[in-house]
Amino acid sequence: MNLYINVAFNHFAAVREWAAQAGADAFVDMKDFTLEVKHKGRYYRMYPLFQGTVQGRAVHLTELTPDVRGFGGWKPYDLFTHSHSTDKQKFKEFLVECDIRSPALLDAGQGCRQHDYVVKARSGSFGQGLFGPYRAGARPRVPEHDVIAHGSMFAEEFVQGQILKVWFWGARPFFAHVHSYPTIVGDGTSTVEVLLERKVSAARLPWEGFRACTVAAACLEFQGASPGTVLGHGSELWIDYRYRQQYSPNVQIVSAGDNQLEELLEQSGRQVEEMGQALAGLLRRTTRLPVLISVDGMLDASGRIWWLEMNTNSLLPPEGYSVMFADLFP
């Protein structure tokens, strides 16, 4: 897996390139890491976002602390929250209102008996508060401590496909990631549990037993595998369906962008554009200015996008600066 978006020098390079082409001035204040940009008689102070780990959990931070593990870029505002990003169910109801495709909300009774499904906390990020997938009719197994920690939850139809995330500045999409589920591959002799432990350990992630890897365990059970199943030589089982959970043993820092938007647009038609227009309309209800939004989804084998949730405090891909500054300095 390549690291690109959260690498600080990629952001410095992108801002420097834009400033040189535009004839703008850009300075970083090392006291608080804000970015000052001056151009065409206008001035903006840009606020940093950092990626960090606190008590073993991924978080976003606004200050450079010892917990920081990556850089998330600068935006012309501090943290921005929206009701549809803090409440996933509310966002799904908005999609229904706009006639935009999203996995169905399911009632705990009949709906979960007829459809494969996952259980989600209404709030949460970084893949936290997500349980399953479960086959239709199966009872969900959500630990009591997670119910207490995450609060209100809902059931959602489980749609398989490629994992995607699209970044928008206002209505305009400018960056996308699309990737397949990570898998384990059988060798004809090793059990599923052994294969999973190798995968997790090779990615330098903690291994505390099969059941501690709750998402992976659920994915394997969904496919009919148990810890003791011996996977045939060359046979594959997927072990996760969350964005950027790839269990890669090789992580490289790169300076070349990994934007897959063009390929996604070719495969999916106007679906991304329609989402951008819907997001812009939603945001105009509460703010006059464009903001950065990312939206997660699944791309199925027919090229249909099933949108899942939105985030107003995502890391900013370096490609976003030219799009953002075009609005700020018209």
CB 143, CB 130: distance < 8 Å: no
The proportion of the chain whose per-residue pLDDT surpasses 70, expressed as a percent, equals: 94
Amino acid type, 160: Q
Amino acid type, 193: E
Q: Name the pairing type of β-strands 172-179 and 153-157.
A: unpaired
pLDDT reading at 254 higher than 70: yes
Q: What is the pTM of this model?
A: 0.91
**Whole-number pLDDT of residue 108:** 63
Lowest-confidence region among 34-43, 46-55, 211-220, 256-265:
211-220
pLDDT reading at 148 higher than 50: no
Instruction: Identify which has the larger pLDDT, 214 or 271.
Output: 271
78-136 per-position pLDDT tens digit: 888 888 888 898 999 999 999 999 999 887 666 678 899 999 888 766 667 788 999 99
The band of 208, judged by pLDDT with boundaries at 50, 70 and 90, is confident
pLDDT reading at 232 higher than 50: yes
- At residue 222's C-alpha, the angle toward residues 221 and 228, to 5°, is 20
Residues 6+ apart with CB under 8 A from 35: 15, 26, 27, 28, 29, 45, 46, 48, 74
**Whole-number pLDDT of residue 231:** 95
